[in-house]
């Protein structure tokens, strides 16, 4: 059995079936984990102003008439899809390191609505939880945490380059995890397997 966040799972990706709630939630979560960071990256590439200020990640403030309509649509779509992506990460942590899942998820969700840096802090907490729970490769968890830090720095310094790089790294980490969720079995989705290649850091038990 492959680990949760290894690329290229053994199981075929199936289309969402609303009549099967477990598989439907898995497919939606995996899809959003891939597409949300991809849309955020596209929005920043198309118009580099998007995503480089603190307010740019707040759903309620993306209607600035100074921004282009295409960039707005990409950004809003990415932020909206980030909600089920975060809920998917919380689902992964519902059996191990539950506190990291609840706290990180809550902070990240609140951040999407009102406080952009809170979203980035929440993503770091979720990444730590994934690693502590051995539900992700170290590289995957580190990518999510690093991406959040880069996006925070990009917002603080209004750096277009950091915003784009941060979005790209988030796509690697969160998107890679999403592909694995899409390819894993329903049983693995319901009961997160322990990734054998991950070991807690010193002092983390």
DSSP 23-85: HHHHHHHHHHHHHHHHHHHHHHHHSTTTTSSGGGG-GGGTT-TTS-HHHHHHHHHHHHHHHHH
Question: Residues 90-100: pLDDT tens digits?
Answer: 999 999 999 99
CA proximity to 148, closest of 130, 166, 125 = 166
CB 151 within 8 A of CB 28: no
| pLDDT band (50, 70, 90) for residue 6 | very low
CB 90 within 8 A of CB 68: no
Tell me what the pLDDT averaged over the chain comes to.
80
Question: Residues 129-180: pLDDT tens digits?
Answer: 999 999 888 889 999 999 999 999 988 888 888 989 999 999 999 999 999 8
């Amino acid at each position: 059995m492959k680990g949760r966040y290894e690329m290229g799972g053994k199981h075929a990706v199936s289309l969402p079936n609303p009549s099967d709630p477990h598989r439907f939630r898995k497919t939606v979560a995996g899809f959003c984990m891939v597409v949300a960071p991809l849309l955020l990256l596209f929005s920043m590439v198309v118009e580099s102003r998007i995503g480089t200020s603190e307010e740019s990640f707040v759903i309620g403030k993306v209607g600035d008439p100074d921004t282009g309509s295409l960039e707005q649509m990409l950004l809003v779509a990415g932020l909206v899809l980030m909600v089920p992506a975060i809920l998917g990460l919380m689902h992964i942590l519902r059996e191990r390191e539950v506190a990291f899942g609840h706290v990180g998820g809550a902070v990240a969700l609140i951040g999407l609505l009102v406080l952009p840096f809170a979203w980035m802090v929440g993503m770091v907490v979720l990444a730590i939880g994934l690693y502590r729970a051995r539900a992700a490769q170290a590289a995957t968890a580190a990518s999510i945490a690093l991406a959040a830090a880069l996006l925070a720095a990009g917002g603080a310094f209004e750096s277009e380059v950091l915003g784009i790089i941060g979005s790209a790294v988030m796509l690697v980490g969160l998107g890679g995890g999403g592909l694995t969720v899409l390819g894993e079995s329903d049983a693995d989705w319901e009961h997160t397997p322990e990734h054998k290649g991950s070991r807690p850091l010193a002092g983390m038990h």
